[in-house]
Amino acid sequence: MVSSNLLVEDRGAVRRITLNRPDKLNALNHATLTDLHQAFEAAGRDDAVRVVVLTGAGPKAFVAGADIAEMNGLSPVQARDFSRHGQALMRRIETLGKPVLAMVNGFALGGGLELAMACHLRILADTAKIGQPEVNLGLVPGFGGTQRLLRLAGRGAALELCLLGQPIDAARALQLGIATRVVAADQLEAETDRVADQLAASAPQALRGVLDAVITGGDGPLEAGLDYETQVFAVAFSTQDMKEGTGAFLARRKPEFSGR
């Protein structure tokens, strides 16, 4: 796809998608949401892509939020549709079936934090700031912020961020369980690449199974989740990668996973 809002590049089996609106601090407008949806659809269909890294252009922001200038003129019906459009993107990322890493290089506020939370792992620069400041605009989060914060960090953290509307630093985000890990800003890209490469070398079907078990199986009661995990576990035994992985372990060699 070609879009001025995004930069898309591949490094081996890792695809990096960069929001490219640095003059707007990579704010999410309707067009950018649509472009992101198409980019993730393409990544999901491409068997050569095993991992996706999502980040923002420029030194200041991952995504500073939704585009307030565009939102200011929306009617309630249009706002409902905008919310659903954003939520559909977040769910598309969450259910991609391939690991998605958010490389948070600066501000991740409002829709930016919601976008990061839809990713499976979040690696933050120690200079990053995150938050849900919508209440300061007379709004509430509309792209899933209340629900994913609740699931990631618990009721107390969700209420803290959404009611107070104040950003928190990377250290606090790690403490709350929102950040997967925090690294020095000058090490952010190298650490993200290291994690992405580790995932890209893993068995794709096994990664998909883990994501599916946690995201889909985790939405229900424990007994249903355990049964779901059993089904995913059994399916793994039908893959060539399972035979390669166990065979390589027994032979004391490094496995070479094919994705089959």
Tell me which residues are annotated as active site: 114, 134
Distance CA 155, CA 171 (A): 19
15: left (phi over 0), alpha (psi -120 to 50) or beta: beta
Residue 55: name the closest of 127, 7, 95, 111 by CA.
7
The first and second tokens of residue 33, run together, are 């949401």
Residues 113, 105 contacting (CB under 8 angstroms): no
Q: Which residue type does 52 have? A: V
- Encode burial over 114-125: b for 16+ CB neighbours within 10 A, e otherwise: bbbbbbbbbbbb
Residue 162: HSE in the Cβ half-sphere, 13 Å Cα cutoff: 21
CA distances from 135 to 13, 49, 101, 110, 162 (A): 40, 38, 27, 10, 7
